[in-house]
Structure 1
């Protein structure tokens, strides 16, 4: 496999590079900053240059834009202000509900501004605004060709519905941009417009954009007219202080002890200081992260490995791209989590972080104290052992990256100290090489040393220092007809990182995911805007692990999944594959052949039912705990409904359901795993919301005396009700109730809380 990848790399070097100089965008100077109300009637807009060379990207690229869109950019002493005008011959069909921040999705009309103040088109900050003035913002990574909406910036946006469309004003403070102090490349920008009718259309301001480029920000346009502003602003210092007060009353009880009641008032703060353009210093003291939105439930009952969850806490999201990629690739893997996984930090009491960004380099370092209580993982080839973190640990992490043209190399160090003799250290390097316009190589090498172990019962203890390594090399290719993502990796048996996420070790794996584009087709009278044939291949084998008694060269999994995907009207996607796979549940056990059929569909059916997704995999599935194969399924359903109410209110309702089953040889149900999450949000205004989340999971197993499996049932429920008043990122008031219960043990608890955050 390695020799083949090397040969593919030589072939990529021989491919001719093709690039078209992007069209530049010019700024206008605003003597007086425009009032941000969504109306483009200020005098400054009448004088600003107008850009109207929008072209279609979806469903077919480089086609004339369906309807006219114009954009203008003004520069003031402390901000860039974007003015965007979107014409629409049927303005009554604009889809623009009131929604939560970061919930402006493809089922809605919107415009998006991508801005890269570093100028290298590796990362871009983005802001998306709907005709209702709802905002979504975040970071777009060129390496992953994916956006991450978790980071929030202190932006101001407004929109106005017009008789022939809508208009948007977006104020982007220069303090919210991250750019080098010296030797920076020209800033780059791109604006897009989404039109979700029977056929979704996406128009872009970059005429050279095609679907064959490796990432969506490859053709960002230079921004001209900044003059001396960058030189002036790069020396300015900006300081933000966000104190917060939380009042909490908590009651907990279980059948093993008395009821416990606590009342607590806590004062915390977050501090951000940008001494100049290329430096940002963040500090947090006694932060209250408990009101972060509940994580989406995941089916976890019939798996041997721990599951990761995304980061949502503000302190960890500053310049998240400098820490490393945050999104999974097309195969569902996010290998950068092995280096640093912020959710391994569970309850920090204080933290300090500094980030620097130069023209050809960047770096970040953080140190914090964690109250602990979260999971600590020790992975093997067939399962992950999970224990509870010792309390009051200290965590440190640093990563620096150098960029030489198409080649980027980074080094990192990580340290976790849990107290007397319990430490874990990781050091390593990762890199990216852009081999032309269609090929990208990535990889990393991480070395670990730890004195902390987890036994079979979840007990955490001290051992003699254990060493391990993790190596990975990946190749990604994309052109007009083909896509391929090939990865080879090796994780030694004792590799561990308590500041990272390591769910499997002691393995060597090779995988491929690819597709062949077939273009527009018609199937059973349905016009398919895009169609693809897909293929996933994977084989995982064990490395020798005498400590756990695992012999080398055992096949853990072997996947062969040919499939398809196509897109149709109303942003509908349909996919499926046949799974001709095999798995081994335990070392020395039998390798089981599984045969499954997966079918999935997602769509934006209409304004009321804005999103619907359903996926079902059925067939002969592996029952991990019983170490056998039985008929079963795994299914998930997600639906989003939005509807206006009298008085200008809006109601959001989201429902997620998950179901996994496996039958015993006698045809009776051996195992069932259910999960559900209901979310109801009542938008009283653009600032005031009432939110209810109800979440539950239920796992049951039938007794099987022949295998020594006892009957078991576990159930968890959580309910959160919260009223929130929000003004941008600077002012936030919350009042709410949380309730939770778990079985076995009949553990129950509830809390009342009030939280006030102010920004200065």
Structure 2
């Protein structure tokens, strides 16, 4: 305690005074709104006060910022406009590549603005603008301490390179902010600046330290708004985005027969904010042909379904009100058990209303789904999958109330497939912020369903089955250590067809601890942060007579001591020894696995902007064969960004991303029992800030050698997809896309091809 008090005293002496908050300025009479061109030369900027009290957060906190940054805020009739000036002693080293929206990462120079219009520092909307004017935006959730870049806001931004740095202008429409109609707390804000050199530096405009539970713990009130909220809270906003898609398809079955079709379809998205606290969203016949392909995953050596992130715009409005979406430290995304938007495969239409008050919030949606996606029915050792019937209806409602440091929520979910087939879920979740260092979270969900999936994947009507899912978790964080402890129980018949449930019929306890050692030097290398880690987990079965599973069987038992440290170039290195045990099937043997995992990520330079690799090697479990063998599982990702030679054209930039996955386990004879591979190559040619050409090629392959002793036949399954798309984009309002999608699948060699043209206009 003495050392912590001494550290706080030194911080108070080293950092600038924080008595003054960022202050917004109203336009003076006769002043025009700033033109969003990145230049801070408009008359409004000459009168707006500048906030320059920035402090370093990375690589080491509690230090003054070495490079000066200022932020100014101007209030117009319908927007907040931020002007940010970033001085740099070495402007030639500023990294400002052209990139896709939502790809402004730590390898680039950028500034970001976090706004919490509710004022409670539970969630924040953020916009990140690179020195090239590229935008990334999304939502930040304090409960998970995580960013979600999927939501997009209709902001306007521009950057200007200068002889001594760069400047950014960001226009944030009030219509894109979500705040209460009355009794709201003062709006809060924080600006961050990223400087990617040998030692990546992140400076923030608030007295934030790494001891905080989350990144927005120190958001400061934005002064100078006066009666702005009262003036605009009754103001309504309407956005209408019609879209037209022309499509030509050709499907070739395994027997060579073909089906061809040509189709023109009209769709639309409608958003109405009648006043500050309400948002009404509607979608009709949405088309998602321009959304990127999901990244391929290694799925050959697991019997559990894998989740994928949401990318479709309709589901992203006020995503924080639906519930948290970030996986916890055990890797399990428990929040998806309540609502998983990817369970909605192909909506014909949808309607959603969201309300946000000073101490409460709620959302409700109802839609009709054309179907075709998976239906999941989980067990303790595997997930059964069927195919959704067509023409189902989905409903979801969640409301949340904040009572001081305690937040309580209730939810209802319903999926109706017709013909008496359906699933309902009711439940509650909550969070308790027990001081500055501790947080408790949990949920209780109750389900009822008449839809079952047999061993062959066929859907069937069953007598009503009921189940529950209960979870409680504790998180602690201070200057010395971090801890995450979770306990949960999922009954055998718990199901949610609007959610993601990959495992049931089990009880699990998990703990993950970090001992924070601070700055160290290892073999002459300075480590900015270093930690010793320990993960413990045990999962046991509950009795499940339907699947013939006895109670008390250990599904997995993990003991994983490890380490993590960070160094120059935003480099992180981690690893652990896995002294684990796994059981592949009910009544089977509990196998002892012994593995070593090592991981590495870094921003090596301006061209090779990101490198990631993780390898686990040792005695691994072959799930289908129910035995142990020497094996490996590895993933690698590399990103390159580079300007193209001037003779090809001025201002051309190339993005290249490569992802690879590899897994295998040897059989008793030393030969490969199976091999699992995945690869994705993404190439983006930026013709200008508005025009791009994107190519994605990805493939997965799983091969297994025939094994009579294990009763396994030869397998060779392959999937390949290619997507080529040209896109002209002006913000979120005007998008034209022209593309080609091709896919093939083996065994059977089924193939499909799609040509499409899509035009979206915003009003």
Could you tell me the TM-score, scaled by structure 2's length? 0.96
Give the structure 2 partner of residue 389 of structure 1. Answer: 388
Secondary structure in 1 aligned to 2:335? Answer: helix
Partner of 1:24: 21
2:122 and 2:154 mapped to 1: Cα distance? Answer: 22
Match of 2:741 in 1: 738
2:708 equivalent to 1:705: yes
Q: Counterpart in 2 of 1:11?
A: none
Is 2:340 aligned against 1:337? no
Structure 2 residue corresponding to 1:655, chosen from 635, 658, 662 = 658
CA distance in 2, matches of 1:710, 1:557: 27
Q: Deviations over 1:285-310 (max 9, x none)?
A: 00001331000111000001000000
CA distance in 1 between counterparts of 2:20 and 2:551 reads 56
What's 1:8 paired with?
none
Give the structure 1 partner of residue 621 of structure 2: 622
The residue that corresponds to 1:415 in the other structure is 414
CA distance, structure 1, for counterparts of residue 154 and residue 377 of structure 2 = 39
Residue in structure 1 matched with residue 669 of structure 2 by the alignment: 666
**Displacement of 1:334 after TM fit?**
1.5
**Contact 1:663/1:670 (<8 A) preserved:** yes
> Within 1, Cα distance between the matches of 2:256 and 2:90?
64
Mapped to 2, the partners of 1:22 and 1:98 lie a distance apart of 38
1:703 and 1:529, CA in 2 relative to 1: closer, same or farther beyond 3 A?
Answer: same
Post-superposition shift, 1:22? 7.2
- Partner residue in 1 for 2:3: none
Q: Which residue of 2 aligns with 1:205?
A: 205
How far off is 1:21 after superposition? 8.2
- Alignment root-mean-square deviation, CA: 1.1
Counting only pairs closer than 5 Å after superposition, residues 4-43 of structure 1 correspond to structure 2 as 23-31=20-28, 32-43=32-43
Offset of residue 327 of structure 1: 1.3
Question: Runs of at least 4 residues of structure 1 off by over 3 A?
Answer: 19-23
Aligned to 1:722: 725
Structure 1 residues 661-700: aligned runs within 5 Å: 661-700=664-703
Instruction: Map 1:292-307 to 2 at 5 A.
Output: 292-307=291-306
Q: 1:288 — aligned with what?
A: 287
**Distance (whole Å) between structure 2 residues aligned to residue 691 and residue 621 of structure 1:** 38
Q: Deviations over 1:233-290 (max 9, x none)?
A: 1100100000000000000112235110000000000000000000000000000013
CA distance in 1, matches of 2:751, 2:19: 60
**Would you say the 8 A contact 2:438–2:475 is kept in 1?**
yes
After TM superposition, the structure 1 = structure 2 runs for residues 563-642 of structure 1, keeping only pairs within 5 Å, are: 563-642=562-641
Counterparts of 2:540 and 2:568, CA distance in 1: 42
SS in 2 for 1:37: coil
- How far apart in 1 are the matches of 2:746 and 2:547? 31
Partner of 2:118: 118
Query: Where does residue 316 of structure 1 map in the other structure?
Result: 315
1:14 is aligned to none
Structure 1 window deviating more from structure 2 (287-296 vs 548-557): it is: 287-296
Counterpart-to-counterpart distance in 2, 1:379 and 1:180: 40
Mapping for residues 122-133 of structure 1, pairs under 5 Å: 122-133=122-133
1:212-611 equivalences under 5 Å are: 212-256=211-255, 258-611=257-610
Q: Conserved in 2, the CA contact under 8 Å of 1:22 and 1:221? A: no
Offset from partner CA, 1:689-713 (integer Å, 9 cap, x none): 0000000000000000111111011
Which consecutive unaligned segments of at least 5 residues does structure 1 have? 1-18
Kept after mapping to 2: 8 A contact 1:35/1:42: yes
Contact 1:22 1:206 in 2 (8 A): no
How far off its partner does 1:25 sit? 1.7
Specify the SS of the correspondent of 2:546. Answer: coil
Pairwise CA distance, 1:525: 1.1
Deviation at 1:330? 2.5
1:57 is the counterpart of 2:57: yes
8 Å contact kept, 1:23–1:206? no
- Secondary structure of the equivalent of 1:336? helix
- TM-score with structure 1 length normalisation? 0.97
Is the 1:22–1:220 Cα contact (8 Å) retained in structure 2? no
SS at match of 1:224: coil
Match of 2:8 in 1: none
Query: What whole-Å deviation, never above 9, does each CA across 1:148-188 have from its counterpart, x for those lacking one?
Result: 00000000000000000000000000000000000000000
**2:4 — aligned with what?**
none
Match in the other structure for 2:182: 182
Q: Which residue number corresponds to residue 103 of structure 2?
A: 103
Contact 2:156 2:171 in 1 (8 A): yes
Q: What is the Cα deviation at residue 228 of structure 1?
A: 1.7
Aligned to 1:142: 142
- Provide the C-alpha distance between the structure 1 equivalents of 2:80 and 2:453, rounded to a whole number of angstroms: 52
1:69 partnered with 2:69 = yes
SS in 1 for 2:709: helix
What 5-or-longer segments of structure 2 have no aligned partner? 1-11
User: In 2, are the aligned partners of 1:579 and 1:598 still within 8 Å (CA)?
Assistant: yes
Contact preservation (8 Å) 1:541, 1:556: yes
Structure-2 separation of matches of 1:377 and 1:445: 20
Q: 1:552-595 deviations in whole A, cap 9, x for unaligned? A: 00000000000001111101100000000000000000000000
Give 3-state SS (helix, strand or coil) of 2:57's partner: strand
Residue 9 (structure 2) aligns with: none
Give per-residue Cα distances to partners, 1:704-754, cap 9 Å, x unaligned.
011111101100000000000000000000001110000011100111100
Question: How far does residue 518 in structure 1 lie from its aligned partner after superposition?
Answer: 0.6
CA distance in 1: counterparts of 2:355 and 2:141, whole angstroms: 18
The whole-number CA distance in structure 2 between the counterparts of 1:303 and 1:675 is 15
- Contact 1:22/1:219 (<8 A) preserved: no
Contact between 2:18 and 2:53, CA under 8 Å: does it hold in 1? no
Task: Answer yes or no: is the 8 Å Cα contact 1:118–1:184 preserved in 2.
Answer: yes
Aligned to 2:5: none
Is residue 2:761 matched to residue 1:758? yes
1:524 Cα shift? 1.1
Separation of aligned partners in 1, 2:401 and 2:409: 6
- Return 657-666 or 521-530, whichever deviates more: 521-530
The separation in 1 between residues aligned to 2:754 and 2:212, in whole angstroms, is 51
Equivalent position SS for 1:382: coil
Q: 1:246 and 1:680 mapped to 2: Cα distance?
A: 24
Q: Which moved more, 1:370-379 or 1:320-329?
A: 320-329
How many angstroms apart in 1 are the aligned matches of 2:384 and 2:43?
Answer: 65
* Structure 2 residue matching 1:493: 3-state secondary structure: coil
Deviations 1:642-694 (CA, angstroms, capped at 9, x unpaired): 11012110000000000000000110000100000000000000000000000
State the distance in 1 between where 2:21 and 2:86 align.
21
1:45 alignment partner, SS class: helix
> CA offsets per residue over residues 462-518 of structure 1, 9 Å max, x none?
000000000000000000111000000000000000000000000000001110111
CA-CA distance at 1:23 after TM superposition: 4.6
- Would you say the 8 A contact 1:77–1:229 is kept in 2? no
Inter-CA distance 625–51: structure 2 relative to 1 (3 Å threshold): same
